[in-house]
Amino acid sequence: MRNGKDRSEASVLADAAEGFDLSQSYPYRLVVLAERVSLAIAQVYADRFDLSRAEWRLLAALAPSREMTATELSAYSTLDKMQVSRAVARLEAAGRVERRADAVDRRAKRLRLTKSGRALYSAVWPLVLARERYLLGALDAEEMAGLDRVLDKVRQRADELIARG
Amino acid sequence: MRNGKDRSEASVLADAAEGFDLSQSYPYRLVVLAERVSLAIAQVYADRFDLSRAEWRLLAALAPSREMTATELSAYSTLDKMQVSRAVARLEAAGRVERRADAVDRRAKRLRLTKSGRALYSAVWPLVLARERYLLGALDAEEMAGLDRVLDKVRQRADELIARG
DNA sequence: TATTGTTATACTCTATAACTATA
DNA sequence: TATAGTTATAGAGTATAACAATA
């Protein structure tokens, strides 16, 4: 396993000398880290509970705040309205969420977890939280605080660039 | 726009009181950040140069080190061998890479950029690097150093968890 | 006319595995 | 038997846009 890791030191140095090395790129490393972290956590809710990432996000979004519309969920979970629509459809079919028309705006449907949905959430989140804590356990208080700032600051710039096109 | 952002402060506090808030989860924020960063950079190579993420990674991998086999590329770029095979096929069809059988192991094919591939890379990477620098420009030296450690440490733990299953 | 949410479609990724040609 | 790489297939996810109901 881990083939290709045995690149010669000369080859590695040659990369550095020529000025660009994918593996030294912070954005690349960030994306790879996020893929790995996402996978490590998805193993819990996907493999053991057959939830997609979108479904898990909606479950987590609805668990504390009781009721949200699809539009609110979309903003809160960074999923688009179709992803929300499909994830909700699947969760509803599984009896995990229920929807009822909003009293004032009958286009909107207010979503909330059923008892079964809350039970599922209660089963999943301690396991997810344990993995989160293990991942963050690698960091000291200062690194955590730094990460907190970095996540916000870089996110802001990324959103700027995306808006710029 | 930005619908759903106007959740009441009471509702936000209620979330905190009940103990779990998706938007406060570091792994979640990390994954969302990586999605945004990835998109901000992909706008350059995807929108303007019609390259997939895998193709861009291979281009960046081959640009400095001249020659690699598909297996080496796979390890270097965290793409699996199929993703490499397809991206290589598309790059080769576009005249960006060429492959020749390895002299000693004729199963292996050594890949390298063509002149056209190097030209493409030369056109793309300054734009990508500019975006990277803008993103990181949000951070001071200390935050950069902290991020560097965080990327390595958390990555290591994520890989542990993934291996554990 | 604009908005909420659903559906349709085509397209891209991904995962598993079978396959070939070498070794 | 094992490895390098390709191809096949089906499933999941994504993007664009059309649509119905309501505002």
* Burial class, B61, CB count within 10 angstroms (exposed 0-12 / middle 13-18 / buried 19+): buried
Instruction: Give the phi and the psi of residue B68 in degrees, each rounded to 5.
Output: -145, 155
Element of type H or E holding A158: helix A141-164
- Interface check A81 vs B, CB under 8 A: no
Residue of A67, A77, A161, A162 to mutate for B, most B C-beta atoms under 10 A: A161
B69 or A7, which is more confident: B69
pLDDT at position B132, please? 95
- Interface check A11 vs B, CB under 8 A: yes
pLDDT at position A20, please? 59
Per-residue confidence band for A15, with pLDDT thresholds at 50, 70 and 90:
very low
- Interface check A8 vs B, CB under 8 A: no
Q: Do residues A16 and B17 make contact, with C-beta atoms less than 8 angstroms apart?
A: no
Report the percentage of chain A scoring pLDDT > 90.
Answer: 79
CA distance A57 to A121: 10
CA distance A71 to B14: 20
Give B-chain residues touching A144 at CB under 8 angstroms: 26
CA distance B92 to B99: 8
Residue A63: closest CA among A18, A88, A19, A97: A97
Q: Which residue of B has its CA nearest to A143?
A: B146
Tell which strand C nucleotides have any atom below 7 Å from a protein Cβ: 3-8, 12-17, 21-23
Give B-chain residues touching A161 at CB under 8 angstroms: 40, 43, 131, 134-135
CA distance B100 to B89: 13
Report the percentage of chain A scoring pLDDT > 70.
Answer: 87
* Burial class, B58, CB count within 10 angstroms (exposed 0-12 / middle 13-18 / buried 19+): buried
Q: How far is B39 from chain A (nearest CA, A)?
A: 7
Q: Is B83 helix (H, G, I), strand (E, B) or coil?
A: helix
CA distance A76 to A78: 6
pLDDT at position B125, please? 93
CA distance A165 to A58: 29
What pTM was computed for the model?
A: 0.86
Per-residue confidence band for A10, with pLDDT thresholds at 50, 70 and 90:
very low
Q: Do residues B49 and B123 make contact, with C-beta atoms less than 8 angstroms apart?
A: yes
Convert A86-151 into a string of H (helix), E (strand) and C (coil): HHHHHHHHCCCEEEEECCCCCCCEEEEECHHHHHHHHHHHHHHHHHHHHHHCCCCHHHHHHHHHHH
Task: Give me the mean pLDDT over the A112-127 stretch.
Answer: 94
Give A-chain residues touching B131 at CB under 8 angstroms: 161
CA distance A131 to A139: 14
Q: Do residues A45 and A122 make contact, with C-beta atoms less than 8 angstroms apart?
A: no
Residue A94: closest CA among A126, A116, A72, A66: A116
Rounded to the nearest integer, the mean pLDDT of chain A is 87
pLDDT at position A163, please? 87
Q: Are strands A109-113 and B97-101 parallel, antiparallel or unpaired?
A: unpaired
- Interface check B76 vs A, CB under 8 A: yes
pLDDT at position B165, please? 82
- The partner residue sitting opposite B146, judged by closest CB among A23, A137, A143, is A143
Residues of chain B with pLDDT under 50: 1-19
pLDDT at position A3, please? 35
β-strand partners of B150:
none
pLDDT at position A8, please? 40
Rounded to the nearest 10 degrees, the angle between the axes of helix B26-42 and helix A115-136 is 80
**What does the pLDDT look like over B126-163, one tens digit per residue?**
999 999 999 999 999 999 999 999 999 999 999 999 98
CA distance A73 to A108: 12
With CA of B92 and C1' of each nucleotide, the nearest comes out as D6
**What does the pLDDT look like over A55-111, one tens digit per residue?**
999 999 999 867 999 999 999 999 999 999 999 999 999 999 999 999 999 999 999
Q: How far is B37 from chain A (nearest CA, A)?
A: 5
